[in-house]
Amino acid sequence: MTDNSADAEASWQHLKPDSVHALQTLLMTIESDAPPGDLFETYVWSKSVLAKAMRARLEMHLPPECPTFWELRDRVAEAIMRKFGQSIPLKYLKVPYKSSVHIALFAILLEKIGEPVESAMLRVVTEDSVHTERRMRELRELGFDITPIEMRGIDFYKLGSLNINETLIPAIVKNNIRKDKGISAETRRDLESKLSSGN
């Protein structure tokens, strides 16, 4: 067992009794016809406890490493260098987005490649819908074949293939350039013109 999965299991074992207690407390609060303020407060607290526990349990299930994620990022890096390695400074040719959350979200999609995965499952990793949508958008910015889908009012994401959309490569470099506040507007325009011309 890797350190990460061992940590996740330890967290799960620690949080599991708290989850049971949170559910029992919520159920008792509902059954007691408590005032709305008490009910909502108990709901918010129990939801937070359960979110942490479910994240630990999911992390136990995820593979300790995801080599496919790094292989795709390497292909993005190769495409960037092939297109702009001779015309754009190296510091702007880096591939962003490699946090543990990015990897975990990709690993979940990879396990179900070709099938829609409900956003609620992905939110277990981030414990937050906004963060989930942002991280998924960032993976799509890398050219990963991830598609948002809505079915019957429920949001899903699907990893369609292990192909990279290389038409998004210039946008990656442009974002890197725009994050550099230390260059002049003229230099920025010159660099961005090279992205447009492809040379």
CA gap 147, 112 in Å, rounded: 13
Give residue-wise pLDDT tens across range 47-86. 888 878 877 777 777 777 899 999 999 999 999 999 999 9
pLDDT at 4 over 80: no
CA gap 150, 89 in Å, rounded: 40
pTM of the model: 0.79
CA distances from 67 to 64, 71, 103, 179 (A): 10, 6, 10, 28
What's the confidence (pLDDT) of residue 71?
97
